[in-house]
């Protein structure tokens, strides 16, 4: 199966890049034209810049620069076999890095700019995305974000920027500049602060690879049904335990407090994370937050990571989470909650 998935890549090469470990001063900047210019220079010099996208904040590096890419892994403390998404300003730029078949082209036309990542074969030797960022794979993950700050930065930089979510590996993704600073202060040079992100969960990741049905590798900001409608076919799920999307490791979005799913009651030391109108039964809980009192899944997605962080910071004995419907954006929300609960 793996051979079928990666036709020209029977094994993954081990790549090593040595990076000096130094602590750096992190500047938090408003996204003025001048500051975006400074951020562009920082990227060009191999520095790390966190920036808002419509999904979550990403920690960006010049995708062509292996040492800069290595610094991203180092800053996040991320297992280095995990490939990163390369962000570009337009579909045209994406075509310089990846080969788009008819399906991938349809999806790019329909959803870019927006919260969709496409995994496609990379163009080959000339691929501007460093092989370390691709974890040695012959495929590349590409996305054109719609957030105006991300757009401006990418246009000005003029080359792909790899940007995983700007959190320490295994922690909840950041939906504000403060979250980024909590996790990465002293490890990256600049944070462009443009307030809360809109979507709140990461992009949907779809693989369109030769001789393979299109697969949903990670549910995210665009619901499965919308993608299937454009494709005109059903999406398959990720095949078995392939490493093609190691970001899907079971325990990936973990707060410190244990998470209890589909809860209807809250115990005394626990925090309650609700959804919809129903109030929890039982004890009083140390704190109550509601992802969306009206039961709106888009609002719940936007609040998810911020509320998990907020409740976790109170050091409760656990976080009891109400059940959340699995349709539409609910698939991505439930996926992140299951991962947060795994330990
Ligand atoms: O919304 C998002 O996608 C955010 C913002 C910052 O753009 N980024 C993000 O990146 O979530 P990251 O690195 O945390 O997640 C990237 C996902 C992982 O599941 C990774 O394994 C998968 O994309 N991925 C990237 N390149 C891949 C490739 N060549 N093959 C398979 N999976 C790939
Ligand atoms: Mg992440």
- Surrounding ion ligand 2 within 5 Å at CB are 165
DSSP-assigned letter for residue 291: S
SS3 of 121, please?
A: strand
Q: Are 311 and 273 in contact (CB under 8 A)?
A: yes
Q: Is 175 in the pocket of ligand 1 (CB under 6 A)?
A: no
pLDDT truncated to tens, each residue of the chain (343 aa)? 232 333 333 344 445 555 555 688 999 999 999 999 999 999 999 999 999 999 999 999 999 998 898 889 889 887 666 789 999 999 999 999 999 999 999 999 999 999 999 999 999 889 999 988 887 788 999 999 999 999 999 999 999 999 999 999 888 999 999 999 999 999 999 999 999 999 999 999 999 999 999 999 999 999 999 999 999 999 998 875 444 444 445 556 678 999 999 999 999 999 999 999 988 998 889 999 999 999 999 889 888 988 999 999 999 999 999 999 999 889 989 988 998 898 7
Task: Return the pLDDT at 325.
Answer: 96
For 161-262, list the strands marked E by DSSP.
161-162, 190-192, 204-207, 215-218, 236-237, 259-260
Ligand 1 atom at shortest distance from the alpha carbon of 145: 7
Pairing outcome for strands 190-192 and 85-87: unpaired
Q: Are 28 and 49 in contact (CB under 8 A)?
A: no
> Distances in Å between the alpha carbon of 56 and those of 25, 27, 177, 304?
22, 19, 10, 11
| Distance, CA of 208 to CA of 213 (rounded, Å) | 7
Q: Is 165 in the pocket of ligand 1 (CB under 6 A)?
A: yes
Task: Return the pLDDT at 16.
Answer: 54
Task: Return the pLDDT at 282.
Answer: 85
Q: Is 84 exposed, middle or buried (0-12, 13-18, 19+ CB in 10 A)?
A: buried
Q: Residue 83 Cα, ligand 1 centroid: separation in angstroms?
A: 7
Ligand 1 atom at shortest distance from the alpha carbon of 201: 1
Task: Return the pLDDT at 20.
Answer: 53
| Distance, CA of 60 to CA of 180 (rounded, Å) | 12
For 26-131, list the strands marked E by DSSP.
27-29, 49-52, 57-62, 85-87, 116-121
Task: Return the pLDDT at 336.
Answer: 86
């Amino acid at each position: 199966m793996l051979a079928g998935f990666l036709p020209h890549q029977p094994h993954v090469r081990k790549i090593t890049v040595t990076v000096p470990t130094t602590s750096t001063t992190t500047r938090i900047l408003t996204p003025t034209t001048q500051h975006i210019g400074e951020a562009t220079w920082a990227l060009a010099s191999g520095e790390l810049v966190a920036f808002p996208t419509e999904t979550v904040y990403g920690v960006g590096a010049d995708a062509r620069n292996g040492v800069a890419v290595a610094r991203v892994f180092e800053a996040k403390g991320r297992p280095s076999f995990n490939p990163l998404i390369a962000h570009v300003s337009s579909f045209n730029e994406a075509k310089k890095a990846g080969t788009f078949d008819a399906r991938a082209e349809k999806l790019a036309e329909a959803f870019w700019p927006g919260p969709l990542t496409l995994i496609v074969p990379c163009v080959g030797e000339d691929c501007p995305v460093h092989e370390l960022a691709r974890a040695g794979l012959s495929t590349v993950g590409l996305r054109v974000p719609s957030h105006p700050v991300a757009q401006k930065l990418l246009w000005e930089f003029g080359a792909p920027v790899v940007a995983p979510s700007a959190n320490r590996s295994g922690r909840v993704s950041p939906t504000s500049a403060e979250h980024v600073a909590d996790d990465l202060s002293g490890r990256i040079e600049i944070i462009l602060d443009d307030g809360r992100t809109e979507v709140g969960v990461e992009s949907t990741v779809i693989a369109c690879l030769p001789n393979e049905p299109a697969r949903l590798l990670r549910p995210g900001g665009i619901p499965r049904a919308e993608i299937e409608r454009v494709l005109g076919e059903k999406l398959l799920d990720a095949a078995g335990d392939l490493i093609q999307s190691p970001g899907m490791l079971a325990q990936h979005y973990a707060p410190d407090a244990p998470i209890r799913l589909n809860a209807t009651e809250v115990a005394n030391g626990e925090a309650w994370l609700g959804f919809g109108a129903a109030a929890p039964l039982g004890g009083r809980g140390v704190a109550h937050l509601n992802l969306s009192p009206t039961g709106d899944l888009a609002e719940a997605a936007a609040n998810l990571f911020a509320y998990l962080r907020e409740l976790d910071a109170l050091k409760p004995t656990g976080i009891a989470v109400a059940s959340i419907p699995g349709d539409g954006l609910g698939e991505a929300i439930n996926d992140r909650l299951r991962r947060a609960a795994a330990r």
